[in-house]
Each structure stands twice: as C-alpha cells, then as structure tokens.
A and B are shown apart, each in its own frame.
Chain A
C-alpha cells in the first residue's frame, strides 16, 4: 500500500476545522518546509497520519472513534486557519444554489 495525499482527507479535515483545508499551507516543525495540506502524504491504519512531503515527518495524527476525533499535531510549526472561508468564485451548475453564509 503506497498511501494517499491530502486530497483524500479533505472531508476529515473539514470535519475537524469546519472548512475546506486542503488549500491551506502548513509549516513542518521537523524541517521548516511549507506545504499545502493537499500535498501532504497520507497513511491510513488504525488512525490517519499526515506526513510532510519534504521530510516524511509526521505532521498530524487523527483517530476517530465513536464520533470523537483525537487529534495530535506533532509536526505543525504553524498552521494558519482562516476564520472565514476565503472568497472564491461561486461554483456554477444546474443544480447549484448560492451558498448561504
């Protein structure tokens, strides 16, 4: 099993942070490199682990059990979580409706 990247945990991160997070940059506490969360490497076992794509160091460990998420962040030197979603083009589509705030 060769694993996934951060795109695979977009939904999980949304649950944890209340917003789309894969476009957010995080600085690795081990090597100092900044990467978008989409570009981390992801391994799934009993829990989900996000690894720094540059050094392989563990950045975030999430275990979900019975609807409770245990989060351990051994590898974020910084993670800037926007308090409001960045303004983006409204997606288009026949089934679309404007998103309500």
Chain B
C-alpha cells in the first residue's frame, strides 16, 4: 500500500488582493500556481512559521483568485497576522483543497439550507457564487447571524444574492440591528429555524458553519425539529461565539 500513498503537497500562493470586510476581518485574494481547483465548501490548510491553520475557500471555482475571509480572534496568533499584517505581494504556503463532506455542487442537489454565523459565511459564499455561476435552479435559503451591521462582510454581494428568484436571504442581528430593521434581532432559536428552514419532509441539503458553539446549537435545533442528521453537513471553526 505504501506505493499508493501520496502526500498533499504544499503550494506557494501570492497575495494579490486584500479587502477589508469588517473591522475584524479581511478577504485575502491569492494566485496559486499549480492550484488544482476546488469544490464549493472545501478549505485549505495554511502553513506559517510554527503554525498551521485551516481556512475555508470563500471564492467560487470559477473565480479568478482563490479567496479566504479571515476574522481576527482575540489573542489569535495566525488570524491577527492575516487580518492586520499581511501585505500585497507576500507569499503564503498552503495546501488543498480539503474536505469531502462539507462541499456542495450541482450533484449534491437541494433544496439548499445554508446557516452561518460570523466568518462561517466564507464557504457558503463559495457555494452561493457557484450556484449563481452555473445558473442552478436549486432553491436556496440562507440564515446568517452577525452581531451588528458593522460585522457583516460583503453586504452588497449578500444583497445581490437575495435578488435571485432562487435565493432567500435572512439576516439576524444578535447585538444591535440597524435602524428601521424589521427582520430578526436575536440568536438563532427553534421558531426562527422553523420559519426559515425548508420543512424536514422536503429533505433539504443543509450546511451549517461558524464558531463551534453556534454550529452545535444550530445542528441540535435542526435535529430536534425533525431534520435527518445525515442531511446536515457541519463545519466547526473552533472557539466560542
């Protein structure tokens, strides 16, 4: 069997674009020679001196650059560097794409239920961009939880997704909603999920992503509401919320 083993090699990406998304987060655009392409939802491992971390791919396979959206974690070794110190032209060592369960494409079907908090939107943005790029007819419902409007990355793009007949976008502001907001203003709970989700009988294909405590809460609520656990794909970023 040894002869069949292959290592997933490290590639060197060049930082070509940096976009400040929120006070705490930034999108890093990379050109990665030798990059084999990816499925929406997959992630990369990043290698910095003395540390390795995983980051979801926020761009679609069709996009020009490989994009990562990184949110600074208090006291975080790697995220602080990526959000505040990295410069255009810098090189990053990475490998991927990784992940066989948390990925969506046309073969995965639907209806799609996407649930995220904070930086957990990144892999779902890849799915939504791909959904748009392939003109998918699969109906999508997104529930996205952020503390306040300042913490919302790519607001224009999220609103643009919402203009599609196939995509229904629901935001909830957990700390402070914008003025005249008439949507949700609390942490996710059973009534909110019941309103936003496809009923269990429609067998949605569900992706839940974000801080670990958020994903645990959302997944438990879905199962308690009668959703088939096999249909729930989850990705936990670690930490609390």
* Minimum Cβ distance to chain B for residue A90 (Å): 7
Residues of A within 8 A of B32 (CB): 95
The answer, yes or no, to whether B21 is at the interface (CB within 8 Å) is no
Within the complex, which residue of B34, B54, B62, B64 is in contact with A97, where a contact is CB–CB below 8 Å?
A: B34
Asked if B99 and A22 make an inter-chain contact with CB atoms under 8 angstroms apart, the answer reads yes
Complex CA–CA separation, A22 to B140 (angstroms): 25
Residue in chain A with minimal CB distance to B30: A95
* Minimum Cβ distance to chain A for residue B219 (Å): 10
Chain A interface (Cβ within 8 Å of chain B)? Answer: 1-8, 10-11, 14-15, 17-24, 36, 38-39, 83-84, 89-97, 99
* Minimum Cβ distance to chain A for residue B102 (Å): 6
Complex CA–CA separation, A19 to B219 (angstroms): 28
Category for how many chain B residues contact A: 35 or more
- 15 A-B residue pairs with Cβ-Cβ distance under 8 Å, sorted by A, are A1-B238, A1-B239, A4-B237, A7-B101, A7-B102, A10-B100, A11-B54, A14-B7, A15-B8, A22-B99, A38-B100, A91-B36, A93-B35, A95-B37, A99-B36
The answer, yes or no, to whether B213 is at the interface (CB within 8 Å) is yes
Asked if A94 and B64 make an inter-chain contact with CB atoms under 8 angstroms apart, the answer reads yes
Asked if B234 and A20 make an inter-chain contact with CB atoms under 8 angstroms apart, the answer reads no
Asked if A3 and B236 make an inter-chain contact with CB atoms under 8 angstroms apart, the answer reads yes
Q: 1/0 per position for B1-12, CB-CB distance to A under 8 A?
A: 100111110000
Asked if B212 and A4 make an inter-chain contact with CB atoms under 8 angstroms apart, the answer reads yes
Complex CA–CA separation, A84 to B239 (angstroms): 35
Q: 1/0 per position for B209-241, CB-CB distance to A under 8 A?
A: 000110110000000000000000111111110
Residues of A within 8 A of B31 (CB): 95
Chain B interface (Cβ within 8 Å of chain A)? Answer: 1, 4-8, 31-39, 43, 45, 52, 54, 61-64, 66, 95-102, 105, 107, 212-213, 215-216, 233-240
Within the complex, which residue of B8, B35, B99 is in contact with A95, where a contact is CB–CB below 8 Å?
A: B35
> A38 with B101: in contact, given A8-B54, A14-B8 (CB under 8 Å)?
yes
* Minimum Cβ distance to chain B for residue A63 (Å): 15
* Minimum Cβ distance to chain A for residue B101 (Å): 3
Asked if B37 and A92 make an inter-chain contact with CB atoms under 8 angstroms apart, the answer reads yes
Asked if B212 and A3 make an inter-chain contact with CB atoms under 8 angstroms apart, the answer reads yes
Within the complex, which residue of A4, A20, A91 is in contact with B238, where a contact is CB–CB below 8 Å?
A: A4
> A92 with B236: in contact, given A2-B212, A11-B45, A15-B7 (CB under 8 Å)?
no
Asked if A5 and B236 make an inter-chain contact with CB atoms under 8 angstroms apart, the answer reads yes
Residue in chain A with minimal CB distance to B2: A18
* Minimum Cβ distance to chain A for residue B100 (Å): 3
Asked if B105 and A84 make an inter-chain contact with CB atoms under 8 angstroms apart, the answer reads no
> A8 with B238: in contact, given A14-B98, A95-B35 (CB under 8 Å)?
yes
* Minimum Cβ distance to chain B for residue A6 (Å): 8
Residues of A within 8 A of B240 (CB): 2
Residues of B within 8 A of A23 (CB): 100-101
Residues of A within 8 A of B52 (CB): 11
Complex CA–CA separation, A89 to B39 (angstroms): 9
Residue in chain A with minimal CB distance to B211: A2
Residue in chain A with minimal CB distance to B8: A14
Residues of B within 8 A of A89 (CB): 39, 105, 107
* Minimum Cβ distance to chain B for residue A24 (Å): 8
